[in-house]
Amino acid sequence: MDIDAIIRAAKLGRERKDAQVETCTVFAAALYDVLSAQGIQCEMVTVVPKGLEAWAHALVAVAGRYYDSMGEFSADIYRTRAKIHPKVRFELDYRADARCECYEPEFDELHAFFVNVLTKTLHEPAAAVAA
């Protein structure tokens, strides 16, 4: 299954960008729930740049790869997204996290939206071909 393609094909609208900053835990929880429902072994992870504890981002790990609302996530992908110059050195610290209570109840509707859109995209014919 091409998780990156499923995330990119999902019609998330403006919520995709919001999930990069304010609602990353809600998206990660939804992705975790959808993948788990499909029997895919995954785990919640928080990434923190080493030496910069003020920033953290929720991800889902599957078979050694990490995913967020933009698709696959890695140090190189983050460098490109954040427009970090190639000569600037940085490291990311991936920490195990838990699914339970990872967001406030006020985000239940957003979580349901993410689950619905991801599930719908997962079952579209194009997703089946990518699998």
Domain count of the fold of the chain: 1
Q: Do the domain assignments include residue 128?
A: no
Residue 70's domain comprises 3-123
Edge-to-edge strand order for the sheet containing 92-96? 71-73, 65-68, 57-62, 43-49, 92-96
- Is residue 65's pLDDT more than 80? yes
Averaged pLDDT, 38-50: 93
Q: Is the pLDDT at 66 greater than 80, yes or no?
A: yes
Task: Please indicate, yes or no, if residue 107 is contained in any of the structural domains.
Answer: yes
Residue 52 lies in a domain: yes
pLDDT band for 55, please (50, 70, 90 cuts).
Answer: confident
Residue type, position 74, single letter: S
User: Is 129 among the domain residues?
Assistant: no
Which tokens belong to 8? 């990119």
**Contact of 7 with 65, CB cutoff 8 Å:** no
Instruction: State the average pLDDT for the chain.
Output: 89
Note whether residue 19 is domain-resident: yes
- pLDDT tens-digit profile of 5-18? 999 999 999 999 99
Task: Let me know if residue 66 belongs to a domain.
Answer: yes
Say if 131 falls within a structural domain: no
How far apart CA 131 and CA 120 sit, in angstroms, is 15
Q: Which amino acid is at 114?
A: F
CA separation for the pair 124, 62 (Å, rounded):
21
SS3 (DSSP) at 48: strand
At 129, is the pLDDT very low, low, confident or very high (cuts 50, 70, 90)? very low
Asked if the structure places residue 130 within a domain, the reply is no
